[in-house]
Chain A
């Protein structure tokens, strides 16, 4: 509803109430969307034969194609940690450097940086693709011939992004920890058996499970936020950049919040 010149502006309280109402409605809509995606995911193998190929392509694009940049970042991070860790004598003598490596790479920055990369690459692509399909009435065409767009379009992307996130996070960890070993050979040579033995001694089941759980939830968040925003397009192609920007903003924000919550949840 647009305001005419004669109408009064709504009060601050009314605007806040309206915003809260809209936020609540959006949240319910998002949970409903998530529930639908989960339901369709369980029936993915039986209902969507073509979806498997979409899933493969999604993993190829999100996981395999992002492997290089993920490895590069992991190597850089591992190098920095081992370099500065070796500058601190106490960290070397007390194996604190291994604890730092595990904490930074495995527990915290590994999953988060991987998620940022995936959000920036695949999240943007999914939001753009789906919103374009809405604008060009492709979604309506799917519905017209009896294909569930969530089953055919969202579930492969949901699974593809989530699986890719988990796999990329593992590659990130492997690259970061292996790179730190290679860099350590130039600074403070140490036998591989000793290095990895110490690393494995510091690596706890809690750290591994936290890393895997983070990557799993980050994958879910990225795919859902991107898909949901993609479907919010209406009629115009000019909406697509706005939707993509909104998806990226929401995605990054949610990733950071979820990261904090998961870290706190696993801290005990």
Chain B
């Protein structure tokens, strides 16, 4: 009998007990790891929105999980009350001036709350105390005053966002400086620059005033010349009346009883007749092209026959060897008009 069959009860008992032990062991390990038996310390906080906040999400301190979110509720002022549980091992890390920061993670993965502990050596906060979040004014003030221990992030996305935030801060400061400089209420570099520009504009005005002293006489002389020319044009005995005078040379030349005009007309009509004749000749030639082509073809055939006769005579048996046989060759370049489509 096989071992398994002979000791079936023992084998089955071991099989089931081991499975039960695995289950119990996993539950105990899970409980210890997730601190089911650790009551911990509870604190409250407040956020503007519950977006990204869920009960059970971890609370981290420099990457270590030190607690979890117990509950998330909407209060009467439409703010979000959050209750967190800090494990007993990390209770002493909850210094006064600590701040909670929401970390939504990279693309929504691995998020949680980050605890930024207060930068002091005071004893930890009491159980049930309020820890401000970065959403609150108190939290922002604590951060701005440097009372909070903030880790330097090595997250690339976070670094980029930090740079963007820094840039926006710089732009904001620049705009404030511009405002203050325009209002003249500060003495920064921009104010100095604007004062310099003001001085330059004043110098430019002075320079223009000085240069205008030499420029004005010339302009005055040019203006005088223009006025003189204008008066000459307006003179009734000046250039324009002379040109328009019927007794003047131009009018005399043109007033010849249309002789010049008639001559020009005659020349133009002769040119027109010549052009008509040229057009007629061209049309005739165009119409006669097939006939000319036929005459040329006939002439070519006649010449060919004559050539044959001459060759026959030359090759006459009585004289020589007769007419040699030749392949007939037709005209290969007829005009476009001969083609049939």
Contacts and interface: CB of A to CB of B under 8 A. Distances in A.
A87 interface: no
Nearest to A59: B12
A236 B258 CA distance: 138
A39 interface: no
B328 interface: no
Interface stretch (A144-152, A162-170, A237-245, A251-259): A162-170
Interface string A200-212: 1101110010001
A63 interface: yes
Contact of B26 (A90, A166, A203): A203
B278 interface: no
B15 interface: yes
Contact of A60 (B11, B23, B29): B11
A95 B112 CA distance: 13
A63 B30 contact: no
B105 interface: yes
A113 interface: no
A203 B30 contact: yes
A65 B16 CA distance: 13
A198 to B, nearest CB: 9
Contacts, number: 66
Given A93-B110, A96-B109, A171 B22 contact: yes
B4 interface: yes
Contact of B34 (A63, A174, A201, A212): A201
A35 B105 CA distance: 51
Contacts of A65: 4
Interface string B11-39: 11001100100110011011011100000
Nearest to B17: A167
B162 interface: no
Interface string A140-180: 00000000000000000000000100110011011000000
B318 to A, nearest CB: 111
Interface residues of A, number: 29
B9 interface: yes
Contacts of B9: 56
Give the bracket for the number of chain B residues in contact with chain A: 20 to 34
A197 interface: yes
Contacts of B106: 90, 94
A34 interface: no
A65 B11 CA distance: 11
A67 B110 CA distance: 36
Given A57-B8, A174-B22, A64 B15 contact: yes
A197 B30 CA distance: 9
A231 interface: no
B16 A205 contact: no
A170 B8 contact: no
Given A59-B16, A200-B34, A204-B30, 19 more contacts: A56-B8, A56-B9, A56-B12, A59-B15, A64-B15, A94-B106, A96-B109, A96-B110, A163-B16, A167-B15, A167-B16, A170-B23, A196-B29, A197-B33, A200-B26, A201-B33, A208-B23, A208-B30, A212-B23
15 contacts: A59-B12, A60-B5, A60-B12, A64-B12, A64-B15, A94-B106, A163-B16, A173-B22, A200-B32, A201-B33, A201-B65, A203-B26, A205-B30, A208-B26, A212-B23
